[in-house]
Structure 1
Amino acid sequence: MNSEKSRSGTLLLWVFVLSGFSGLIYQSIWTQYLGLFLGHSSYAQSLVLLLFMGGMAAGAWLVSRRSVNLKRPLLAYAAIELVIGLLGLAFDPLFQGATQWAYTSVFPAMGGSGVNWVRWGMATLLVLPQCVLLGATFPLMSAGFMRLQPHAEGRVLAGLYFSNSIGAAAGALASTYLLLPWVGLPGTIMSAGLLNILIAIAVYPLSKMERESAIAEMPASVDSGRGPLFILIVAGLTGASSFVYEITWVRMLSLALGTTIHAFELMLASFIAGIAFGGLWLRSRADRLASPLVTAGWVQVWMGLAALASMFVYANSFEWVGWLMRVIVRNAEGYGLYNLASGLISLLVMFPAAFFAGMTLPLLTLALLRQGQGEKAIGQVYAFNTLGAIVGVLATVHLLLPMLGLKLALAAAAAVDLLLGVVLLRRYSLQVGGRIPPSGKALILSAIGMACALLFVRFDPLMLTSSVYRHGRVSLAEDAKMLYLKDGKTATVAVYEVPNHGELKGQVRSIATNGKVDAGMAATFAQSPTTDESTMVILAALPMAMKESYERVGVIGFGSGLTTHTLMGSPRIGRVDTVEIEPAMVEGARHFGPRVQRAFDDTRSHIVIDDAKSYFSSSPAHYDLIISEPSNPWMGGTASLFSKEFYAFVPRQLNSDGLFVQWLQLYEIDPELVSSVLTGMLANFNDVHAYLANDSDLILVASPRGKVPRLEGSVFSDPLLKADLERVGVHGVRDMQDGFVMDKRALLAYVSQYPARANSDFFPILQLKAPESRFRGANVAEFGAFASAPWPVARHLGAIAAREEAAQGEVDGLPLATVRKWQSAKELKGVLMGHPSDGEGVANAGERLNAEVLRARAQSCSLDADPESSASLIISVAMETVPYLDAPGQSELWDRPAWLSCVPGDPLVQNALALVGAASQDRHDEVIEAGTRILDGPSAKFAFGNAMVSYYVVGAVQYAALASQRADVAKQAHERYDPLLQPLVRNSSPLRILTHMAAQP
C-alpha cells in the first residue's frame, strides 16, 4: 500500500509539472490575446495582470474556505482541470468572435462613450473564470496530495511547488520557441487545453485513494500560537517584493539583452526556475525544521541580500553581451547560441534571489499547518501571496520605476525582504547564547548589504543606453552627453548627444527606447540633417503633397516629435492626434527643443498617452490621414502594428478618401519578413505605393478604397513646411518623386518573389523572426536595387519624367540612391563626351574608367578590335546613364552618339549601340529586336557568359515588353532565356520582379 501511494505521489508530481506547463502557456498567451484587444499601455497591462493574479487569488481563497469539507480534493482538482481544458479549447473562437463583434457593432454604436469600460468588461468575462479555476488548482492538489501522504506536509508542499514551477519554466520556453512558431496563438492555447484534459484523465483514478483530511493533528512547533494574520501579511509582502524583483530585472536585462519576445521568455523562465529549485532544495528538509518561520526569516534575509548582489552581477552583464556580440557568428546558429548565453546571464542575475523566493510559500504554509490552521492555510497563503504580487507589480509599474528608477526600485524591494527577515527572526527565534541575537545578526548583514549596493554599484547611463545587443559596444562614446534618462512605465527612455565624426559635423541628438535609438537629429539647424530627419519629414510631407488638406490626422508613435512638428507647419492641417504609449517618450522629446516645438505648442496638436489601436477604436471620429511610425518590429509589442489584422482595422478608422502612411525599416530585417508585412497590407488596401526616404527606410502610402493620388507641388506653398523640406534636400515635387520605387503591381511582384505568410496577430511571424534578423544584421536591398535598376522601371510605374540634365545641384542633400545615380550619370556623360568635370565626382572609379576607355576606343576607331570587350563597355556605361538622363540629354550620347569618330562594323558592337540607343529613347519594339539579336545570334555565348551583359539585355527586353504591354513577349523571353542565365543573374531581385510584372496581362 505504501509503495502504491509512493507511485501515486510521483505521478502527481509529474502531473503538476504538466499543470504548471499549461498554466504558464495560458498566462503568456492570454497576455498576448488581451494585449490585442486592450492594448499594450501600462494601464492595460496592469488590468491584464489584475485579471490573472486577482482571479487566481480569488480561486485560492475560495478553496481555502471549502477544502476541509471536500471528501475528495483530487477529484475536484481533476474536474477543474477538465473545465479549464474545455475553456482553453474554446478560447480562440470565442475571443475572435467577441472582439470582432465589438469592433464592428458595439464600439461604433457607442460613439466612443464608455468604450473602454465595455472592452475591460469583455476581457474580464473572457479570462476571469479560467483564472479563478487556475487559482484553485494548487491548494486542491496540495490538500489531496497531503491526504495521500500524511505527516509529510513540508515535503509535499515543497515538492509540488518545485514541480509546478519547473513545469511553468518549461512552458515559458516551449510556448515561444516551439508552439507559437508551429501553431500560432490558436494552436498554442488549444495545446494547453488538451493538456489540461489529459491531466484530468490522469488524476481521476488517483482521486479514489483519497481519505478524510489528516491534518487535524500536527506536531508541536515553536511557532505555535503566534497569529496566522501576521504570517499571511508576510506572505503578501514577500509576494510583492518578488514581483518587484521580476519586473525590475526584466527591465534591466532588456537594456542588455534586447526587448524581444525571446529575451523576455528567457528571463521569465530563469526567474521561475530559481523559484522551482528553491522548492526542490527545501523538499527534503522541510519536515525536519524545528521552526519554519525562523528558517523563513533567514530565507527572507538571504533573498534580500541576493537581490542586492544581483546589481553587481548586472553591472557586468553589458561586458558579457558585448563580448558575445563580438565573438558569435551572426547567423541562425549564432542566434541560438546568443539566446543560450542570454539565458545563462539571466540565471546569474535572477536565480539566487528567486531560489530563496521559492522557499517562502512552502515555509509559511507549513508554519500555519503546524499552528493547526488545517488545509485552509494552503489557499490562504497562496491567495495572500498572489494579492501581494498584484500590489508589487502595480507599485513597480506606476510608482517605483517612474519615481525611483531601476536601482532604487530593486533596493526598495530588497529592503522589504530584509525587514521581513529581521522581524521574523526577532519574533520567532530563541536566544541560545552569544551577545548578538539572530535578528541582530540579520540586521547587521542587511545594513552591510544595502550600504554596499547603494555605495558601490553604479548603473552608468552611457552603458544602459549603449544598445550593446545590437552593435556590441558596451558604452556610448566617453564624450557623449546624457540629457534625459527615465525608467518609464513601459520602457527606459534616454535622450543624449554624441559628436558626429563623419560627414555630418557637430552633435547628433538621439532619443532611445530600451537602448534602441528611435530617432536621431542634428542638434542645431546649422548642421546638416541626418537620414532620420529626412524620413520623419518626408513621412509627413508625402501625404501633404497628395491632397489639399486634412481635417483630422492620426500619428502612431511620437518618437522625436518631428513628424507631428512637420505636419503642424501647414495651415491645411486640422487636428492632429499623436498617440504614444510611453509618457517618458513625450517628456524626453522636449529636449529636441525648437526642432520639434510645434508638436508641443501648436493648439491643433493633441498628444495622447495610450495604445494606438485601443485609442482609435474608441474614437467616434474618423480620420483623413493616419501615419504609423512605431518602433522597430522586433521590439516587444510592436509587431502587432504591422499585422494583417491591424491593416484590416485601419480602413475602418479612415474616411472614404482617407490615406494611410506606414514606415517600415529595411535594415535588420529579411525580405521574407518585409513580404509578410506587405502581404497583409496589400490584402486590405485597394492601392499601395512605396517610396524610399533613404536606402534603409521605406514609406508605404495606401488608399483603402481609391487610388493613391499623385504628388503635386502644393506642399511647397506652406512656408514652414517648405523650409522643413528644403532642410532635408527636397526643393520641389520632383525631388519627392525620386523617392517613388513601386506601385501595387510591383509590390505584388515583390511578394511573389519572396512568398511569406502574412504577419498576423495570431501567427506573429514578425515578432518571432525579426529578432533573429536583427541579430544577423540582415538587410533588404531589393527596393533600392529596383529603384536604381539599369532600366527605368520605377520611372515608368510612377510616370515620373527623367530629371533634366540642366537641373541645379539642389539635390545634393537628398539621401537617395537614385539622386546619386543621376549625378553620376551626368558626370559619366561628360567623360564620354570629352568634357569631364573637375575634381572628385560622384561616379566611382570603375565607372569613370569604363567611360574613359570607351571614349578612347571610339576616338581611335578601335571598337571593332575587341568587339566583346567594347560591347561590355557600352552596356556598362549605358547601365549607369540610360535610366537617369532625360531623352533630349541622351540623344547625343546614345541615339546619335557624337563621341564616335567612326561607325563600327562589328555586328555585336552595332547591336549593343542599337539596343542602348533605342532604350534611351523608349523605342520599345527596337529594344526587343536588338536584344533578341544579341541573345539569339552568334553573340549568344558571349552574352550569357557575361553576367553583366545578360542581366542588362534580358532586363531591357523585359522592360520593353512591360512598357509596350506585350505579356506574350515577356513570357517567351522568360521561357527561352531564364535557363541560360547564370544563377546570380537569374536570382537577381530586380530582374525577377521585372519579369513577373512584364508577364502579367
Structure 2
Amino acid sequence: MVGGTIRPVAGLYFLSGAGALLYEVCWMRALGLLFGAGSQAAAVTLTAFFLGLAAGSAYWSAPAGRAIRPLRLYGGLELVAALSACLYFVLPDAYRLLYPWLFERWQADFAWLLTAKFCLALAGLFPSAFCMGGTLPALSRVAAGRGLSPLYGVNTLGAALGAAAAGFFLPGWIGYDASYVVAVALIGAAGALALLLPQPPVAISSPSVPASRRSSWGTPLLALWSGLATLALQVLWTRMFAQVLQNSVYTFAAVLVVFLSCLAGGAALAHGLGRLRRPARPDLFLLLCLSGLAVAATPSLFLRATDGLRYAGAGLDWAEYLLEVLWLVARVIGLPLLCLGAVFPLLLDALRRDGGLAAAVGRAAAANTAGSIAGAALAGFALLPWLGLWGSIQAIAAVYLAAALVLAWRQGLKGRLWQPALLLILVFTVLDVSPSPSLRLEADEHLLWLKEDGAATVAVVQKDDGQRRIKVNNHYTLGGTCSRFQEALLGYLPVRLHPRPERVFFLGLGTGISAGGALPAGAGSVAVAELLPAAVEAAREFFGDYQHGLFRSAAARVVPEDGRNLLAASAGRYDVIVGDLFVPWEVGAGSLYSLEHFQTVRRRLRDDGWFMQWLPAYQLTPETFATVVRTLQQAFPDVSLWRGDFSVRRPVLGLLARTGPAPLPAEAAVREKPELFGQMDAVPLAARLVAGDAALRDLYRDAPVNRDDFPVVEREAPVMQRRQKTGQVRMLVGNDLLALLDRLAGATEAAAALLPPATRNWPAAGYRLHRARLLSADGYLSAAEAELVRYRGLVGSE
C-alpha cells in the first residue's frame, strides 16, 4: 500500500459505495414512477446504470494506468459523478413532458417504446455511472501491488449501508428528494476529501508482464460470468423470498442488505486467501466448486426453512418480523454468497499480484458489469419463463460447476476434474427440487394453471367446492369466484351511477369480474390496465364465465401495462376511472394512493367525470384510511364515501371523487339485479352512500398527505400490518368500522342532498343495515334486529 494512504482511501470508498446505492435506488424509483412498475421498465433502468459503469471501467482504465497521482484522478471522478448526478433534479420533469409524446407515438410498437425508455434512462444515469466506473481502476494504482479485494469489499459494505438507509430510514424521515441530496453529498465528499489527502506519486507499471499474459486468458470470462451469475441469482433469490414475505419496501431492502453484506464478506474471504500467497487458480477452482454446490442447495434449504413455502413470521410484531426476515435470508443464501462473492475480488487480487496494469483491472471490471446486465435480463426474461424458479437456480449452479471443469482442464488441474463432475451429478439428483411446487396449496386446493415470468409467479387454484382464485407470489390473492358478486358490484356501481359512462378506465384487472361488471352497467367502452401479463392470461382463460363478455366484447380492451403509467402517458380522457383494491403495504402500491397519481387521474377525466377508488378496509388502519381520504381531497373538490359491501370481516369502502358536487342521477335508485348479483340483499345503490365531502374534510383535515416524495402509505402500512397481526393495532373492521360509521351517522342527511329526492332516506337505511350486521357479528342480536327494523322502515318509505 502507499504509505498510510490506503486506510483513509478505504473510508472514502465506503462512503462512495453508500452514496452510489442511494443514487441508484432514488433514480430507479423516479424512473419507475415515470415508466411504470413493470419488469421491463425496471430492466431498462438497471441496464442504463450498469452500462455506464461498464463503459466507465473500460474507458478510464487507460488514463488510470498512466496517472502518476491516481488518487487525484479518483477524487476528480467522484466529484464529476456528484455534479452530473444533479441531473436528477432537472431531467425527470423534462421526461414527464416528453414521455407522453413518445408514448402516444410508439405505444403500439413495444420495441421502439422500450428503446425510448432506455434512452431516457441512459441520459439521466449514464454520466454519473460512467465516472463511477472509473473509480476502481484509479484506486488499483493506489493499492500498489497488494490486492484490491479490501477496497472492493469496503465499497460493497458501503453499498449495504446505503441499501439499509434507502430501505429503512431516509425516505421515511426526509423524503426521496432529500435522500438523493444525501447520496450526492456522500459521493461528492468522497471526491473532495480524496483531493485533500496526500498525493504521493506512483510509478507506472510495466506495460507487459508474461505471468499476467499467461493467466489472463480466462480473467475477463470469469469476471463476466461472476457478474452474470450474481445478478441473475439476485433476481431469482428475490423472487424466491417473495413467495413467503410481506413484499414491502422493507422486506426487499432486507434481502438486498443481506445480499450486499455477504458479498462484502466474500471480498474479505478473497483477501484472506490472497494473503496466503498461493497461486490464484486452485483457489478459484475451489470457490467455483463450492459456489455451484451452495447455490444448488439453496432451494432445499429454503423449502426446509419455510416449511414448504409457508408465510414467514406469523405472529411476530414488526421488529421481530424484520429480524426473522434477515435471519431467514442469511441462513439460506449467506454461504453461497460468501463463495461466489469471493470470485471477482480474487480475480482482481490475482491481477495485482501478477503485475497487471490498471487497464487489466478496468477490463475485468467492465466485463463483470457487462455480465451483471446480462444476468438480470437473462433471469427475468429467459430463465424464469423457460425453466421456472427451481430450474433456473439449478442451471446457474450447474454452470458454476461447468466453469470449474473448464478451469481445471485449462490450468493443469486435471487430477481434480472428478470433483466438479461429481458435484454436477449431485445437483441433478440429490439437490434437484424441480419436482417441488413453487406454490403452496391448502388441503382442499389443487392447481389449475401456473406461470412464472419476470414480473411474478401467477397461479389459478381451485377448491374442492369448485371455487377458483388467482394467487400471485404464493400468498397474495387477486380475487376469485367466491366473491364474484361483490367484485362485479365494484365495477357496476360507479359506472351505473354516472349519467353518461361512454369511456371507462380500470386500474387493475384481477379476475376481470369487476371490469366486466361495467358492461351491463351501461359503459360504452372499457379499457383495463393490468401490471401482470400472466394475470391477464389467467383471467381470460379461467374466469370468462363471470366477466359479462369482457374479453369477447369489441367495446373492451385489456392492456398489460402499469395503470398509473398508462394514465400519465396517454392523452385519452374518460368519464369514469375505477381503482382496484390495492394492498397498501405491497411494494409500489403506495404510489397508487399518492397525490401525484390522484392529480393525474383528475387530468384524465372529462369535465363531468369521476373516479372511484375502492379500499380494502380490512387492510387499512383508521390512520392510513385518513391519509388516503385527505390525499384524494387534495386532488378533487368533492369526495364522498361509499360502501362496497356490508361485510363484517372483510369490508370494502369506496371513495367517489368528482370534479363538482352536482346531484347524483336517478340511477342511484337502482336496486341490484339478481342476474348480476345472485342472492345478495337487494340493497339500493343509494343505500351504499356513507358521507359527503364536507363531513370527511372536517373529520380528516389534520391527516398527512401521501406524496411520491414522502410516501406515508408505503412506509407506514407494512408496519401496521405486522402490528395488527400481534394485536397492537386494529384495522378498519368490526368495532373500529362501527365507530367510524357512528361518527359519520350525523352526516347522512347532508350526504343525501347528493341524491334524487325519492332516495334520500336510503343512506340512513344503509347505515342501519351495516350497523345491524356488525352488532349481530358481536352477538348483540336484539340490538341488531332493532336496527334491521329501522332499515326496513326507511327503505319502505321511498
Is TM more than 0.5 here? yes
Which runs of structure 2 are paired with 1:859-870 in the superposition (5 Å)? none
User: How far does the alpha carbon of each residue in 1:826-883 deviate from its partner, in whole angstroms, 9 at most, with x for none?
Assistant: xxxxxxxxxxxxxxxx6976553999xxxxxxxxxxxxxxxxxxxxxxxxx7xx4796
Q: CA deviation at 1:254?
A: 1.0
Q: After TM superposition, give the deviation of residue 164 of structure 1 in Å.
A: 0.8
Q: Does 1:484 align with 2:446?
A: no
Aligned to 1:797: 751
> How has the CA–CA distance of structure 1 residues 311 and 497 changed in structure 2, closer, same or farther, with 3 Å as cutoff?
same
Q: Is the contact between residue 238 and residue 417 of structure 1 (CA under 8 Å) also seen in structure 2? A: no
CA distance in 1, matches of 2:107, 2:738: 43
Count of residue correspondences: 779
Corresponding residue number in structure 2 for 1:446: 424
The answer to whether the Cα contact below 8 Å between 2:271 and 2:346 also exists between their aligned partners in 1 is: no
Query: C-alpha displacement at 1:368, in angstroms?
Result: 4.2
Instruction: Indicate the residue corresponding to 1:269 in structure 2.
Output: 257
Q: TM-score, normalization: structure 2?
A: 0.90
Give 3-state SS (helix, strand or coil) of 1:31's partner. Answer: helix
The change in CA–CA distance for 1:135 and 1:441 in structure 2 (over 3 A counts) is same
> Match for residue 732 of structure 2?
780
Asked if structure 1 preserves the Cα contact closer than 8 Å seen for 2:615 and 2:654, the reply is yes
Q: Which is worse superposed, 791-800 or 881-890? A: 881-890
Inter-partner Cα distance in structure 2 for 1:92 and 1:290: 46
- One-letter code aligned to 1:600: F
C-alpha distance in 1 between matches for 2:557 and 2:191: 53
Corresponding residue of 1:608: 559
Check if 1:761 corresponds to 2:708: yes
Partner residue in 2 for 1:38 = 35
Question: Where does residue 834 of structure 1 map in the other structure?
Answer: none
Alignment of 1:160 onto 2:151:
yes
Q: Aligned partners of 1:816, 1:519: CA distance in 2, in Å? A: 28
Which amino acid in structure 2 is aligned with residue 521 of structure 1? G
Report the residue type matching 2:89 in the other structure. Answer: P
Distance 1:84 1:664 in 2: 43
Question: Displacement of 1:407 after TM fit?
Answer: 0.2
- Alignment RMSD: 3.3
Which sits farther off after the overlay, 208-217 or 588-597?
Answer: 208-217
Q: Report deviation, 1:493.
A: 1.1
Provide the residue aligned with 1:512 in structure 2. 471
Alpha carbons of structure 1 residues 510 and 173: separation in structure 2 relative to 1, 3 Å: same
Shift of 1:484: 1.8
SS in 2 for 1:256: coil
Q: Partner of 1:646 in structure 2?
A: 597
Q: Pick from 740, 744, 763 the counterpart of residue 689 of structure 2.
A: 740
- Aligned partner of 2:244 in structure 1 is 256
- Per-residue deviation at 1:98? 2.1
Distance 1:824 1:162, change over 3 A: closer
In 2: Cα distance, 1:326 partner to 1:200 partner = 46
Hey, what's the Cα distance between the residues in 2 that align with 1:881 and 1:727? Answer: 21
Indicate whether 1:11 and 2:8 are aligned: yes
Q: CA deviation at 1:411?
A: 0.8
Offset, 1:688? 1.3
Is residue 410 of structure 1 aligned with residue 360 of structure 2? Answer: no
User: Is the 8 Å Cα contact of residues 243 and 392 (structure 1) preserved in structure 2?
Assistant: yes
Q: 1:248, 1:406 within 8 Å by CA — same for their partners in 2?
A: yes
d(CA) in 2 for partners of 1:243 and 1:822? 55
- Please tell me whether residue 135 in structure 1 is matched to residue 84 in structure 2: no
Q: CA deviation at 1:794?
A: 2.4
- Say if 1:399 and 1:730 are closer, same or farther in 2 by CA, change over 3 A: farther
Q: 1:509 to 1:443 in 2, by over 3 A?
A: same
Instruction: Find the partner of 1:247 among 227, 232, 235.
Output: 235
**Structure 1 letter corresponding to 2:712:** I
SS in 1 for 2:529: strand
- Map residues 614-763 of structure 1 onto 2, 5 A cutoff: 614-629=565-580, 631-694=582-645, 695=647, 696-705=651-660, 707=662, 709-710=664-665, 712=667, 722-723=673-674, 725-727=676-678, 729=680, 731=682, 735-752=684-701, 755-763=702-710
Corresponding residue for 1:347?
A: 330
Partner of 1:919: none
Percent identity between the two aligned chains: 24
DSSP 3-state at the match of 2:51: helix
Cα distance between partner residues in 2 of 1:605 and 1:846 = 46
Match of 1:521 among 450, 463, 480: 480
**1:563-620, Cα deviation, whole Å (9 max, x unpaired):** 12212335x3232221111111111222224123612221222111111122223323
CA contact (8 A) 2:738 2:771 kept: no
Cα separation, 2, equivalents of 1:887 and 1:658: 30
- Within 5 A, what are the aligned runs for 1:816-965? 818-819=768-769, 821=771, 846=780, 848=782, 880=787, 884=791, 886=793
| Structure 1 residues 941-985: Cα deviation after superposition (integer angstroms, max 9, x where no partner) | xxxxxxxxxxxxxxxxxxxxxxxxxxxxxxxxxxxxxxxxxxxxx
Distance (Å, rounded) in 1 between the aligned partners of 2:686 and 2:304? 49
Check conservation: 1:759, 1:766, Cα contact below 8 A.
yes
Where 1:756 maps in the other structure, the secondary structure is coil
Secondary structure (helix, strand or coil) at the match of 2:586 reads: coil
Structure 1 residue 302, shift from structure 2 partner? 0.9
Partner of 2:437: 460
Kindly tell me: are residues 115 and 816 of structure 1, through their superposed partners in 2, closer, same or farther at Cα, counting changes over 3 Å? farther
Provide, for residues 166-215 of structure 1, a one-character-per-residue CA deviation record: whole Å limited to 9, x for no partner. 11111111222121111110111101111122212221133512323346
For the Cα contact (< 8 Å) 2:584–2:619, is it kept in 1? no
Check the 8 A contact 1:257/1:321 in 2, yes or no.
no
Report the CA distance shift for 1:816/1:379 in structure 2 as closer, same or farther (over 3 A): farther
- Structure 2 equivalent of residue 281 of structure 1: 269
Aligned partner of 2:214: which letter? Answer: G
Residues 1:517 and 1:224: Cα distance change in structure 2 (over 3 Å): closer
**Is the 8 Å Cα contact of residues 224 and 370 (structure 1) preserved in structure 2?**
no
Distance 2:661 2:610 in 1: 9
Matched residue, 2:178:
187
Aligned to 1:57: 54
Q: CA deviation at 1:775?
A: 1.5
Q: Which amino acid is 2:450 matched to?
A: L
Distance, in Å, in 2 between the alignment partners of 1:411 and 1:52 is: 28
- The within-5 A match list for 1:197-346 is 197-206=188-197, 208-214=199-205, 224-228=213-217, 230-319=218-307, 325-326=313-314, 328=316, 334-346=317-329
Does residue 386 (structure 1) correspond to residue 369 (structure 2)? The answer is: yes
Q: 2:451·2:534 contact (CA, 8 Å) conserved in 1?
A: yes
Letter in 1 for 2:231: F
Tell me the amino acid that sits aligned with residue 90 of structure 2: L
Q: Which amino acid aligns with 1:97?
A: D
Q: Of residues 540, 560, 574 in structure 1, which corresponds to 2:524?
A: 574
Amino acid at match of 2:689: F
For structure 2, which runs of at least 5 residues remain unmatched after alignment?
Answer: 725-729
Unaligned runs of 5+ in 1: 329-333, 432-436, 466-475, 500-505, 523-529, 826-841, 852-876, 891-1001
Cα deviation for residue 650 of structure 1 reads 1.1
Q: Using the alignment, how far apart are the partners of 1:888 and 1:729 within structure 2?
A: 16
Give the distance between the partners of 2:572 and 2:312, measured in 1 at CA: 50
Using the TM superposition, give the Cα deviation of residue 738 of structure 1 relative to its aligned residue in structure 2, in angstroms: 1.9
TM-score, length basis structure 1: 0.72
